Structure 1
Amino acid sequence: MRSGGFCEPRDCRKHCACPYGSARTERVTAASWMSLGKCPECEDQRATDPRSTGGSDPTTAQVCVFVSRREEPRAESARALLCPVAMASGWLRVSALMQKYRSPLLISTCSGLFGLNLVQHLVPDQTFCSLYQAWSKGEPVQLSPKLEKLFQQVLQDYCVSSPQKFLAFASFGFHPVGAGLPLLPSGVHVGIPANFNSSEEDTTGITDRTIFINGRAVDWSSATGTALRHALVLSEPAQKFALAREVARLDGCLPVLSAAVAPACVGGVWVYSVLLKQVFGLHSGPMVFRVAVNALSLCLGAVSYFLCSDAVGQFVDYSSDRRAAAVSPLYANGGVEFYDKILSRNRTLRSLMGQKGEEMYAPNGNLFPANLLQLKHAPYTARRDGIQAMITQEKA
């Protein structure tokens, strides 16, 4: 080390084995020396201003010059090689943890999905009712005594074991909606729309409401408005069937079956992965093949979810219809009328909504599928024909 405090090549090699000890040296001026900084390996601030220490002439000092033009690309290439290795190491650690705790992770994931799908049925008064509650002038609409009496009559006709667990409220829309499980303290909540207050003689429950379609209010005196009003008016048997359908779905705890589809498919992904790896002997094979098998298992799980949710949804629809229509022939005839009115309403909405209506509704009034893999609901024509077949069979 010279008196000026500069780090010479031999000093770096002697004290800290600095790889820059063999670097190219050159004579520098005091101005260029000020930009050198410290030795990058030993981190020793040996370069001090010789003008303040009274050292040798900085213009003649032979110092260790760190040539960035040669060393920085070398460091960058080393970091570029280490990044994929670090990422692969992190992925291996995560994979090892998932392999070690796969059973708790699978159970917690399936339980979380099951609870998430059932949340509106677990606390319907705080979630479902707040979403579907009808409002008028900033106040929640109260259910009319007429509809409350009708609802209690449906519960009596259906022979519900715990009628005190079933509550009704005024909802918006044109169809009854419901959520909840009779086994839970929160019970079952069924929403009844305002058009159920209307009849052929009194349509105030419909005509006193303003319905906007494509930004324009429906003119109830026009031909399409008259057709829509006629489709929204239901007879008492049709109203009873619509309510009994919701009661049958919730009283049979069918929402639990629908909520179990997603967790079952998540468990199916794990089963697919294990079976495929075992069949092809990939548990100790290359990682690329295992990743490909996992991706294939995810695709199979997604397809299984769409198909199973479709099948379960249609089973719930048909089962609810059969249970409601089996109450009495009056309810069965009301079911045929109910679905006829739905098809008529959808055909009218198709003409009123223009291009959007043609994309949403079929010419016969059925809903178009949500996508190529999922129908979501059973066709209304099939549900009507199913009830009609029950009536024909009963008569025979």
Structure 2
Amino acid sequence: MGILRPALVIIGASTQLLPHTYFLERYRKFRARYDFEDNEIPVRGDIQRRFDEVIDDINLLSCSSKIEKEHIKLFNVHDIEVFHAGSLYTKFGGVVGIPANFEYENINSITDGTISIQYPSLNWDLEAIKEFHSSLVLSENAQKFAMAREIIKVATLDPIYKFCNVLGDMIIAIAGYDLLYSKLNGTKQQKGIQAFCISITAIATFFLTALTHSTLDTYREKEVNEIMSELDSKYIQGGVEYYEKLSQKNKALRVLLGTRGTYLYTPTGNQAGLFGISTKLPNSDQINYFQTRLQNISSQLV
């Protein structure tokens, strides 16, 4: 056990770091979108142009470190959410994944070949489907807002922070297990006590890690919001639209996914957290935040 414990701690913590460093390219390929011949679908030229423009806009901010375009890669992600991985503070750089709906110009652009909901007990509510499709169409401002948000997150040390977080939590877990085991006077022959101690320690560690991750993610969301507010007002307008569309999509999925939808999403379009623990600020709060920023800009212009 003397060698096994440190090994388990390092392996457990490394799951938070390796996909963002040494295995970043493999992780990117796993999340990428492919055609029917298993070829990765390249990013469309106009979308790449918007991405480059966003980096240029962020680099104009005095509160932001300068971002080298060659250190961050844009790709098509197989999902309906924007995605990021890696960190610009490592030699591996970062990646930002954009979903297929960034290519949509209107609802007529949507096809089952690019967006479909694979769920056996899907509730085919026509109004909800219409709302879902409408939520996928984003303006250029909303797309650039979403890209900027992910770029700013890549320009942080979050993967390293989370590695240290899990490392610390697992050390605490082992110490907690030893303390509980000794209090119960457990021996190697008492398998029931061992199982009880492992179960209690595992549950406590899960909640501890979830809470600390949630705290970091929430802090990062607020920090990103402050940085985004320093950008052009078009980004703020894009932020309002982006979160309104995200809320609209969640409300539609709440209906379409039936029982599972009511578990995943709230009636107001927010994402429900596991056991009440959420890693994201509610969409309703985000909408209010950027609407307030827009109102402040308008009042200053009067």
Which TM-score tier does this pair reach, normalised by the shorter chain? 0.7 to 0.9
Aligned partners of 1:124 and 1:188 also within 8 Å: no
Q: Look at both structures and tell me which one has the larger radius of gyration over its CA atoms.
A: 1
Distance in structure 2 (CA, Å) of the matches to 1:182 and 1:134: 23
Aligned partners of 1:219 and 1:225 also within 8 Å: yes
Pairing of 1:237-386 with structure 2 (within 5 A) = 237-269=141-173, 287=185, 295=197, 298=201, 301-372=205-276, 374-386=277-289
1:232 match: 136
Cα deviation, residue 365, structure 1: 1.1
Task: Structure 1 unaligned segments of length 5 or more: list them.
Answer: 1-93
User: Higher relative contact order by CA 8 Å / sep ≥ 6: 1 or 2?
Assistant: 2
Instruction: Between 243-252 and 112-121, report the one with greater CA deviation.
Output: 112-121
Distance in structure 1 (CA, Å) of the matches to 2:184 and 2:262: 51
Aligned partners of 2:87 and 2:158 also within 8 Å: no
- 2:48 aligned with 1:148: yes
1:123-160 deviations in whole A, cap 9, x for unaligned? 35532212211112222211110111111111111114
Instruction: Between 141-150 and 386-395, report the one with greater CA deviation.
Output: 386-395
Cα deviation, residue 217, structure 1: 9.2
Secondary structure (helix, strand or coil) at the match of 1:169 reads strand
Pairing of 1:1-396 with structure 2 (within 5 A) = 98=2, 105-106=5-6, 108-123=7-22, 125-138=24-37, 139-159=39-59, 160-200=66-106, 203-204=108-109, 209=114, 211-215=116-120, 222-269=126-173, 287=185, 295=197, 298=201, 301-372=205-276, 374-394=277-297, 395=299
Root mean square deviation of aligned Cα: 3.5
**Inter-CA distance 229–375: structure 2 relative to 1 (3 Å threshold):** same
Partner amino acid, structure 2, of 1:197: E
Aligned partners of 1:203 and 1:233 also within 8 Å: no
Aligned partners of 1:258 and 1:313 also within 8 Å: no
Distance in structure 2 (CA, Å) of the matches to 1:369 and 1:286: 34
**Inter-CA distance 122–288: structure 2 relative to 1 (3 Å threshold):** same
Report percent identity of matched pairs. 18
- State the TM-score, normalized to the length of structure 1: 0.62
Aligned length: 284
Partner amino acid, structure 2, of 1:120: P
Distance in structure 2 (CA, Å) of the matches to 1:359 and 1:314: 21
